[in-house]
Amino acid sequence: MHVEFPILRQLENDRPEHYLQALQDFAPENTDLVLCILTNSRKDRYDALKKFLCLDNPIPSQMVLTKTVAATRRNQLVSVATKIGIQINAKLGGEIWGVHIPTKTLMVIGMDSYHDSKRRGASVGAFVASTNPSLTKFYSRVVYQRTAQELIDGLTRCMTEALREYHRNNDCLPEKIVIYRDGVGDGQLSAVAEHELPQIIETFPKISEGYEPKLAVVVVKKRGNTRFFQQDGRNVHNPPPGTVIDHTVTNADWYDFYLISQCARQGTIAPTHYNVIWDRTNFKVDHMQRLTFKLCHLYYNWPGTIRVPAVCQYAHKLAFLVGQSLHQQFSERLANKLFYLQIRWQTTDVPPREEPAADVSTNVTPTKQSNLMEFFDTSDNVREAKVIHGRWWYLDELRLKSNGDLHKLWYVLLKERNRLLTMEEEYRYQYELFPNPERIDKVEESMRNIMTVVRERDIAYNLLETGRTGEPTPQIRETSFGLLRYYQPKERILPFYKNRYYQLLWGKRRAAPWTNIFKRRYNEFQEHQEHQETNRIREIVANVIQKYPHLRNEEERVMEEYKKRFDFEQYHIPKRLARRPKLRAHETVWNEQEFIDHGDLTDSNSNDYERLQQEKASRMRRKKK
pLDDT tens per residue, range 182-221:
988 777 888 888 888 888 998 999 898 889 999 999 999 9
**Is the residue at 45 inside a domain?**
yes
pLDDT of residue 196: 86
Active-site residue identified among 32, 95, 150, 555: 150
The verdict on 489 and 534 lying in the same domain is: no
pLDDT of residue 477: 79
Predicted confidence (pLDDT) per residue in 346-357, tens digit: 444 434 333 333
Instruction: Judge whether residue 283 has pLDDT over 90.
Output: yes
Mean pLDDT score, 305-324:
93
Q: What's the gap between Cα 394 and its chain centre? A: 29
**Is the residue at 232 inside a domain?**
no
Full DSSP string of 136-162: --EEEEEEEESTT--SPP-HHHHHHHH
Extended beta strands in 269-357, E state = 272-279
pLDDT of residue 371: 38
**Is the residue at 367 inside a domain?**
no
pLDDT of residue 337: 92
The verdict on 525 and 495 lying in the same domain is: no
The verdict on 289 and 202 lying in the same domain is: yes
pLDDT of residue 194: 86
Alpha carbons 337 and 173: distance in angstroms, whole number: 21
Residue 305: which CATH number? 3.30.420.10
Q: Grade residue 377 by pLDDT with cuts at 50, 70 and 90.
A: very low
The verdict on 306 and 386 lying in the same domain is: no
The verdict on 120 and 73 lying in the same domain is: no
Would residue 287 show up in a list of annotated catalytic residues for this protein?
Answer: no
pLDDT of residue 153: 74
β-strands 176-182, 214-221 pairing:
parallel
| Structural domains of the chain, count | 5
**Is the residue at 345 inside a domain?**
no
Instruction: Judge whether residue 361 has pLDDT over 50.
Output: no
Alpha carbons 456 and 459: distance in angstroms, whole number: 5
**Is the residue at 395 inside a domain?**
yes
Instruction: Judge whether residue 1 has pLDDT over 80.
Output: no
Mean pLDDT score, 113-119:
75
Active-site residue identified among 47, 116, 182, 416: 182
The residues, any chain, with a CB within 8 Å of residue 55's CB and separated by 6 or more, are 326, 328, 330, 331
**Is the residue at 350 inside a domain?**
no
The verdict on 431 and 294 lying in the same domain is: no
pLDDT of residue 510: 67
pLDDT of residue 367: 35
Instruction: Judge whether residue 495 has pLDDT over 90.
Output: no
Active-site residue identified among 112, 116, 165, 380: 112
The verdict on 25 and 120 lying in the same domain is: no
β-strands 106-115, 235-237 pairing:
unpaired
Lowest-pLDDT range, 282-291, 413-422, 551-560? 551-560
Residue 21: which CATH number? 3.40.50.2300
Q: Which helix (H) or strand (E) holds 413?
A: helix 403-429
Mean pLDDT score, 535-556:
81
Instruction: Judge whether residue 293 has pLDDT over 90.
Output: yes
Would residue 567 show up in a list of annotated catalytic residues for this protein?
Answer: no
Would residue 380 show up in a list of annotated catalytic residues for this protein?
Answer: no
Mean pLDDT score, 312-340:
92
This prediction has a pTM of: 0.58
Q: How many CA atoms lie within 13 A of 553 on its CB side?
A: 1
Q: Which residue has the higher pLDDT, 241 or 480?
A: 241
- The percentage of the chain sitting over the pLDDT mark of 90, rounded to a whole number, equals 30
The verdict on 542 and 584 lying in the same domain is: yes
Q: Which residue has the higher pLDDT, 513 or 365?
A: 513
Last residue of a domain, one of 57, 87, 117: 87
Would residue 327 show up in a list of annotated catalytic residues for this protein?
Answer: no
**Is the residue at 96 inside a domain?**
no
pLDDT of residue 74: 65
The verdict on 167 and 25 lying in the same domain is: no
Alpha helices in 471-554 (DSSP H): 500-506, 513-547
Active-site residue identified among 316, 377, 416, 424: 316
Q: Grade residue 534 by pLDDT with cuts at 50, 70 and 90.
A: confident
The verdict on 458 and 483 lying in the same domain is: no
Alpha carbons 39 and 293: distance in angstroms, whole number: 39
Q: Is 98 helix (H, G, I), strand (E, B) or coil?
A: coil
Q: Grade residue 228 by pLDDT with cuts at 50, 70 and 90.
A: very high
Last residue of a domain, one of 435, 466, 497: 466
Lowest-pLDDT range, 59-63, 216-220, 552-556, 587-591? 587-591
Alpha carbons 360 and 346: distance in angstroms, whole number: 11
What is the chain's mean pLDDT, rounded? 79
Whether the Cβ atoms of residue 276 and residue 218 lie closer than 8 Å to each other: yes
Q: Grade residue 180 by pLDDT with cuts at 50, 70 and 90.
A: very high
pLDDT of residue 573: 46
Q: Grade residue 253 by pLDDT with cuts at 50, 70 and 90.
A: confident
Q: Grade residue 476 by pLDDT with cuts at 50, 70 and 90.
A: confident
The verdict on 198 and 318 lying in the same domain is: yes
The verdict on 183 and 290 lying in the same domain is: yes
User: What range defines the domain where residue 486 resides?
Assistant: 478-506
Instruction: Judge whether residue 309 has pLDDT over 90.
Output: yes
Highest average pLDDT, of 4-13, 388-397, 609-618, comes from 4-13
**Is the residue at 230 inside a domain?**
no
